[in-house]
Structures are given as structure tokens and as C-alpha cells.
Chains A and B, each alone.
Chain A
């Protein structure tokens, strides 16, 4: 288990950002998981001393830039989500795999609901249930990462 340091936080965030920038299109674009938010949640659980709400806000700004929406939408969504991740961080570490998966799903949904509210205020249309697809794919990605041996905190307790 390599120690978590600031460098790995930033490298992983940049990688996630490049994943966001990949030229997705069509159905895959609709189902594209929120890579940045997943990485942030991971670091918030794993190393809350390195990554906090401020980091989430800053990363949210980049997400805003990449999606071309109004500045601050993703920033606000990530901030609130990060807050919920941080206040339950100590419990999250104690959770087993399934519980953690469920909580991560709730976090992803939270971010999407906040974005939905902001978009509705900005005059977007009703988006349908496909809007919540990224949360599901996000959780799947989290699960795959766990299967491939990524330490998401839950297992470090069990050792």
C-alpha cells in the first residue's frame, strides 16, 4: 500500500479530468460517470487531511470550465457533496464494501440533484430518468476499482 501524498491526489485528479475531456458522444456521453467527483470522494474518504471541501470546490470550477456551463454550478454541487462525505468520513471508513457503495451512490445522486436544481433555475428542460445514469455507472466504476484492489478505506479497517 503506497502512502497517499499530495502528488498522487493531483495526478489522479488530472487523470480524471482528462477522462472528462475525452471525446464522448451519444449514449456513452449520457452514461458517462462523473470521474472527477468519484476521485474527490475517494480522497475525501481516504485522506481527508490532503483533500477537503476547498479542493472539491476548486475541481468543480474546472468541471464547469470543461462542460461550458455557468461558472459555479459544479463547484457548488461538489462542495455540498464533499461536505456530506466529510462529516460522515469516520463512519465511512468503518463501513463494509456494500454499505460504502451505497453511501457513495447517495453522494453521487446528491451532486446530480443539486446540479438538476441549478439547471432548472437556469431554464433547462425536464431531463428524464436517463439524467441519473451517471450515478449508477459511477457506482459501478467504484465497485470495479474495489475489485481491482483499490483501497477505498473500508478494508484497511478490517486488517
Chain B
């Protein structure tokens, strides 16, 4: 009797007059408590990681379905791209390949030379990292965190913590792994810091993301720090996560205020997420236990004996030309460092290159 009455009410699209089940307030309290418990568990304990992973895996087909319209749009665009456009792109790419080939040839000789020098110094050889090519599936769904989702996951051997780079520089780090995809936090996110080195003078620092805009900060550097506008920042590699020497950012703006002991240095990342679809996920370099030993064993003075004779001879020549120099005992050391760099660059041309005074 009561049931049929209820059904009639439902058909009339009117709410049931008598509330069934627990009251709204009781439900509110119950589910709020449940949410709070979940939040505490998820943020402090690691119990929910597996649950999240399996749920994400279950949602993956739905995700692919959601990505389909955009994919179809892109494919159609590609299909209908004009002949001229393809030709010009092809030409551009060919030129780029040519340029890169030349650089690559130089790199090969430099790598060989570097390895040889490292052997001479009894140091470990620089490691080559393997990498996996991934494609950006979509930008993170929270517009206020800088994250992207890449279509490589646990099944492709990705580990949390790997560096993610594109053609122009580091863009971020893998922070969460799902079976078929992984979440990459960009270097511009507030929660990410990346150890860097100024390419020009080797100064080490840590760059922090901003979160709000597409810039990086170099905090806690004194006002007299030797960083200039336009300096390139590369990864230092001392963190053991990012391979050394990858471009990170360019210094855009330096601000020194008299009321702060620190300079405010703003940098722009060189890698772009908006511009590219493909990224490389670079595996974490293996930390070898013998690396430490090798560094300790390396004699500090070895630099000087391994120099070519012509290089060592140069300071004297230099002094001869510039009598104003008052500290002759310091000159060879400084000169030697520069000379090593030079000799690496162009070995046979050393005698002809004009030496410049270390002032």
C-alpha cells in the first residue's frame, strides 16, 4: 500500500514526503568523516597507492575514448595538410638534420677525447642513460598544478623520479606511475626543485618552480652572485636524478633590492610543454659505488702535466707582451685552466690562436 503510494509520487516527479533512510545531516556527517579519513590516509600513509594505480588502469579505456575526438581532429588535419606545407617542412627538417649532423660529428670526437682524458685521469667514464620516447596525452586536470600525463607507464619500465626532456631542455620529472601512463610534474610547478649549474662559470644552485607563471626562481643566492642576464642554466647532475649538462633555463631578469640579502633571479625554461607532443623519459643514471673512490684518488695537480707544451709556454709569451701584470706566480694556474678548455676545443690550432690576458 505504502509502496504503491510512493511509486505514484515518483511518477508525479514530486519528492517523497517522508524521508527514507538516514537523515541528510547524518549522511553529511558520515561521508564527510569518510572523506577526511581518506585524505589523511592518502596524504600521510602509502596505503592507497596500489588502489589508485589499479583504478587508473581501469579508467584508461575511458581516457582513450575521451582523447579520441582530439586525436581524430589532429589526424584529419595532418591528412589534409597541403603539399606546399609538407615540402617546406621537409626542407626545414633536412637543413636541421644537416646542422645537427655536423654538431654530432664534433660531439663524437669530443666524446672520444673526453673518454681518453678521463682514462688518463683514472676517472670513471661518463654514463650513457637510456631513454624512452613518450607522447603527452593531456595536460593535468587541475589547472593550478603544472602537470602533464605521458603515455608511458610501469609496463614500459618507467620509474618514479625519472627526468623528462624534450628537444630543447628539461621539462620535468615523473612523479606518479600508473600501469599505462605516468604523471610528470613540470619544472615550473611549485613543488619541484632542480639542481642546476650556470654553464658559463659552473656555479651551482637550485632552481624552484613558481606554479603561477612559466618561470623558475633561483632563491637564496647573494646579491653579488656572478649570474648575468642571458646565462644558460644546465643540470648539474649531482642529484643523481637528472643527467648532467641538459639545458634547463635561461636567466631573464635579475633584481637586487637593498633591503634583501638575496638577489631575485627569474629564469625562463628552455624546454616547452606547449610546443611539443613528444618527450623523452630519461632513466636515472646508476650511481656506482666506485665513483666516489675515483674522485678521491684523482690527484689535483694532474691537470698541469697533461697539458701540451705549447700551452704551458704561452703564459711566458703573454707576460712578455703585457708587462703590467704584477702576479706572475698566479698566472700559470689560471692560464692552464683556460688553456685546457681551449686545447679540447681546437687542439692543432693552439699556436695560432691569440692568447688573451687573464685580467
Binding site for B on A (CB under 8 A): 1, 3-4, 17-18, 20-26, 29-30, 32, 46, 48-49, 52-54, 56-57, 60-61, 65-73, 75-76, 79-80, 83, 86-87, 89-90, 93, 118-119, 122, 124-125, 127, 131, 153, 156
Shortest Cβ distance from residue B331 to the other chain A in the assembled complex, whole angstroms: 51
- How would you classify the secondary structure of chain B's contact residues: helix, strand, loop or mixed? helix
Query: Chain A CB within 10 Å — which of B56, B59, B140, B144 has the most?
Result: B144
Residue B69, interface by CB 8 Å = yes
Shortest Cβ distance from residue B98 to the other chain A in the assembled complex, whole angstroms: 34
Instruction: Give B17's nearest chain A residue, CB to CB.
Output: A90
Residue B10, interface by CB 8 Å = yes
Partner of B138 from A25, A69, A90, A93 at Cβ < 8 Å: A25
A68 to B10, CA, bound (A): 38
Instruction: Give A49's nearest chain B residue, CB to CB.
Output: B16
A119 to B39, CA, bound (A): 11
B24: chain A residues within 8 A (beta carbon): 52-53, 83, 86-87
B28: chain A residues within 8 A (beta carbon): 53, 79-80, 83
Residue B294, interface by CB 8 Å = no
Partner of B41 from A21, A46, A71 at Cβ < 8 Å: A71
- Chain B interface residue count, CB cutoff 8 Å, equals 50
Residue B43, interface by CB 8 Å = yes
B31 touches A23 (CB 8 A): no
B35 touches A72 (CB 8 A): yes
B147: chain A residues within 8 A (beta carbon): 68
A79 to B34, CA, bound (A): 10
Partner of B139 from A24, A69, A87 at Cβ < 8 Å: A24
Residue B11, interface by CB 8 Å = yes
Instruction: Give A27's nearest chain B residue, CB to CB.
Output: B143
Q: A65-B56, A68-B140, A83-B25 are in contact. Are A21 and B35 (CB under 8 A)?
A: no
B31 touches A75 (CB 8 A): yes
A18 touches B70 (CB 8 A): no
Shortest Cβ distance from residue B56 to the other chain A in the assembled complex, whole angstroms: 7
Q: List 16 A-B contacts (CB under 8 A).
A: A17-B62, A20-B141, A21-B59, A21-B65, A23-B67, A24-B138, A24-B141, A29-B141, A32-B143, A49-B10, A57-B35, A61-B38, A68-B141, A72-B42, A76-B39, A93-B14
